């Protein structure tokens, strides 16, 4: 009975962490799908999102929910601007575009360091208390994260499936040339895709800000996880990222419960390598 | 557009580079010799770090010459450093053997990793080398019996070759300078032999290279293994110079600074690593007070160089010459 409880608890924790990975990875893979550029600045948008929510809630006393939405909107605008100012010449240039995003990440991270200082700051909890599901204990703050992430993903799904803009975005991910031939204006789709991608990272950051501390360095770890998720799920595949994100969160939580957490990390890396050998295009990715 | 890669490294019959070389060689020798006569330990320290960075970036440049960008270069420096320190201190091996063992460990890891991931597209290579670097850091942290865990290993003795200890800064500078020159000479030599041409062919058009009978996968693995071996050797030198290693000495920022040096110096030139290391090693040390502004400046420089001078500073002379010749 104890074992089952432990297992259930690990699954629940894994689901929460998996949601974070999922949000990070979906944004990351969306940017890659549209621009064919690995965005190393993704971590910094996560960090900026966390700071955005932190500042809005603590300084301006905006309600948390509204602050997450404002942060998302600001991140989309910033992403749009950055794509237009910095990344425009590097569209579809995998190597140089990627190096340019490293430069971008350096600017953003050190800019944040100058403005906010290096010390981690903590944000007041949004909700308190716990919910019992049978014998399982779920902190409400985590439940909140899961609910919000699900809502965001549902909105994203509807946007990509049913809105005109979202469909043109997907068309560009599928095939740029044919999409252009059908009259989709790629010059609008690029900044939009980048903006939404980094906006998702900012939402992840904003949602996680009350759970963890906020500092200019918090983005790296979730970005590394996003890398692993997109490798496993298939680069550019959004359903693949969703599936692999949840799997990674649960696998980590299970392995961390029953093994030491560094052993878990090593095992997961071994799994990633194995995945690349057996199925290089990822779970749901298309072979090149 | 002609390939600019031959402008500095290749044997050119243009007279202007010859004339430039007549000025550059003595100047280079003078700069290289200057630290021997400097009294300030700080400047000699900078000179040593520059030399070691030349070696590290040379290794990365070799990998980049086959069209791959490694994000785990710092981890291979770390593997070499730990390999050398552990075999040297625990097993009592002499410095040269320990350093070579360190390099061999880096090579071996690169071989296993490269064999698997170099079959994949470049992007996957980047992501996996990034993740691999993180894994190396975790293993080093998690193996305190041998690596000292987060505390690292202190009290590493100075390098010693055949009874001669490189225990002062000036002496070690001699060793570091020799290694930097050797690394550059290796790169230069490689740009003039078929094996090196094969590297360039793979970078420029992998499909065409494969169709011409080159085994692209084998060539990329070879470049990766050699490049990581060079990084590992540089790590062994670094560890014996600083006297201390910890997992944090070889984290992502080392990998990224190597990439920044390579890109700003010039990816397609043999001299890129030299130029990048020469410019970017002293800068952060001289501006320690303003380290954040420094990094912002680096980031901006990286983007601007990519945009306007994608072959780095090494391509600047050719770029400046071209309009005049064209007109």
Residue B186: inside a domain: yes
Q: What is the 3-state secondary structure (H, E, C) of chain A?
A: CHHHHHHHHHHHHHHHHHHHHHHHHHHHHHHHHHHCCCCCCHHHHHHHHHHHHHHHHHCCCCCHHHHHHHHHHHHHHHHHHHHHHHHHHHCCCHHHHHHHHHHHHHHHHHHHHHHHCCCCECCCCCCCCEEEECCEEEEHHHHHHHHHHHHHHHHHHHHHHHCHHHHHHHHHHHCHHHHHHCCCCHHHHHHHHHHHHHHHHHHHHHHHCCCCCECCCCCHHHHHHHHHHHHHHCCCCHHHHHHHHHHHHHHHHHHHHHCCHHHHHHHHHHHHHHHHHHCCCCCCCCCC
* Spatial contact of A185 and A7, defined as CB atoms under 8 Å apart: no
ipTM of the complex: 0.81
% of chain A surpassing 70 pLDDT: 98
Report how many domains make up chain B.
Answer: 1
Tell me the two tokens of residue A70: 């404002």
Closest chain A CA to residue B299 = A103
The residue behind tokens 């300078």 is B177
Do the domain assignments include residue B230?
yes
DSSP secondary structure code for residue B96 in this structure: H
Inside any domain, residue B111: yes
Cβ atoms B325, A119 nearer than 8 A: no
CA-nearest residue to B142 within chain A is: A262
Q: Which candidate from B126, B292, B303 shows the least CB-CB separation from A38? A: B126
CA–CA separation, B206 and B125 (whole Å) = 15
Please check whether residue B310 lies inside any domain of the structure. Answer: no
Average pLDDT of the segment spanning A149-168: 88
Nearest beta carbon to residue B310 from set A96, A106, A111: A96
What band does A2 get if pLDDT is binned at 50, 70 and 90? confident
pTM greater than 0.80 (yes/no) = yes
β partners of residue A132: A137
Domain membership of residue B141 (yes or no) is: yes
B283 vs A: CB within 8 A: no
Range of the domain at B51: 42-250
CB-based contact, A32 to chain B, within 8 Å = yes
How many residues can be counted in chain A?
A: 288
Of B117, B124, B126, the CB nearest to A98: B126
Per-residue pLDDT band at B109 (split at 50, 70, 90):
very high
Instruction: Specify the DSSP element, H or E, that contains B51.
Output: helix B41-64
Share of chain A above pLDDT 90, in %: 14
Chain B residues in contact with A273 (beta carbon < 8 A):
113, 116-117, 128
Residues of A in contact with B124 (CB under 8 A): 231, 235, 276, 280
- Please check whether residue B117 lies inside any domain of the structure: yes
B235 Cβ contact list (under 8 Å, min separation 6): B56, B76, B77, B78, B79, B80, B81, B82, B84, B102, B106, B250
Least confident of A96-100, B3-7, B146-150, B202-206: B3-7
The residues in B 179-208 lying below 8 A from A, measured between CB atoms, are none
- Domain membership flag for residue B312: no
In percent, the amount of chain B with pLDDT more than 70 equals 92
Token pair in block for residue A168: 């043109």
Question: Considering the domain boundaries, does residue B229 fall inside one?
Answer: yes
């Amino acid at each position: 009975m104890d074992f089952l409880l432990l297992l259930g608890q690990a699954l629940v924790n894994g689901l929460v962490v998996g949601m974070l990975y999922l949000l990070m990875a979906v944004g990351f893979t969306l940017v890659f799908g549209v621009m064919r550029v690995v965005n190393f600045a993704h971590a910094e948008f996560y960090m900026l999102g966390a700071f955005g929510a932190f500042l809005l809630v603590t300084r301006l006393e905006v309600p948390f929910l509204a602050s997450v939405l404002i942060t998302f909107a600001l991140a989309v605008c910033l992403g749009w601007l950055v794509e237009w100012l910095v990344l425009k010449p590097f569209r579809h240039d995998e190597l140089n575009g990627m190096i340019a995003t490293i430069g971008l990440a350096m600017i953003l991270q050190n800019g944040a360091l100058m403005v906010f200082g290096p010390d981690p700051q903590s944000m007041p909890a949004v909700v308190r208390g716990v919910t019992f599901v049978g014998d399982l204990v779920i902190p409400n703050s985590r439940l909140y994260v899961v609910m919000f992430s699900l809502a965001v993903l549902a909105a994203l799904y509807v946007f990509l499936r049913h809105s005109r803009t979202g469909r043109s975005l997907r068309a560009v991910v599928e095939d740029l040339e044919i999409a252009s031939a059908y009259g989709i204006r790629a010059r609008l789709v690029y900044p939009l895709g980048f903006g939404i991608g980094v906006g998702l990272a900012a939402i992840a950051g904003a949602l996680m800000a009350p759970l963890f501390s906020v500092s200019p360095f918090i983005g790296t770890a979730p970005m590394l996880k996003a890398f692993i998720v997109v490798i496993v799920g298939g680069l550019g595949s959004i359903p693949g990222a969703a599936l692999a994100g949840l799997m990674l969160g649960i696998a980590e939580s299970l392995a961390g419960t029953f093994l030491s957490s560094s052993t878990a990390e090593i095992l997961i890396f071994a799994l990633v390598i194995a995945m690349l050998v057996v199925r290089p295009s990822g779970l749901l990715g298309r072979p090149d | 557009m002609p390939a600019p890669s031959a402008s500095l490294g290749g044997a050119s019959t243009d007279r202007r580079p010859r004339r430039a070389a007549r000025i550059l060689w003595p100047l280079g020798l003078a700069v290289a010799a200057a630290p021997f006569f400097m009294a300030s330990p700080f400047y000699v320290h900078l000179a040593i770090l520059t030399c070691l960075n030349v070696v590290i970036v040379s290794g990365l440049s070799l990998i980049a010459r086959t069209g791959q960008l490694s994000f785990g270069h710092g981890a291979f420096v770390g593997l070499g450093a730990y390999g050398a320190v552990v075999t040297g201190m625990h097993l009592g091996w002499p410095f040269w053997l320990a350093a070579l063992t360190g390099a061999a460990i880096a090579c071996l890891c690169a071989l296993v990793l490269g064999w698997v991931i170099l079959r994949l597209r470049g992007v996957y290579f980047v992501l996996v080398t990034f993740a691999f670097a993180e894994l190396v850091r975790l293993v080093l942290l998690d193996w305190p019996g041998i690596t000292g865990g987060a505390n690292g290993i202190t009290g590493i003795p100075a390098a010693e070759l055949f009874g001669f200890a490189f225990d002062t800064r000036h002496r070690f500078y001699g060793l570091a300078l020799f290694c930097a020159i050797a690394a550059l000479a290796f790169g230069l030599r490689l740009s003039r032999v078929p094996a090196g041409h094969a590297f360039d062919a793979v970078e420029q058009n992998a499909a065409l290279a494969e169709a011409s009978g080159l085994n692209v996968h084998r060539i990329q693995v070879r470049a990766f293994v050699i490049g990581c071996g060079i990084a590992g050797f540089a790590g062994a030198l670094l560890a014996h110079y600083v006297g201390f290693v910890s997992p944090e000495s070889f984290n992502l920022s080392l990998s990224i600074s190597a990439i920044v040096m390579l890109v700003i110096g010039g990816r397609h030139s043999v001299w890129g690593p030299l130029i990048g290391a020469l410019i970017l090693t002293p800068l952060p040390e001289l501006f320690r007070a303003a380290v954040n502004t420094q990094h912002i400046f680096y980031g901006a420089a990286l983007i601007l160089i990519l945009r306007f001078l994608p072959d780095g500073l090494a391509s600047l002379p050719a770029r400046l010459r071209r309009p005049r010749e064209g007109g």
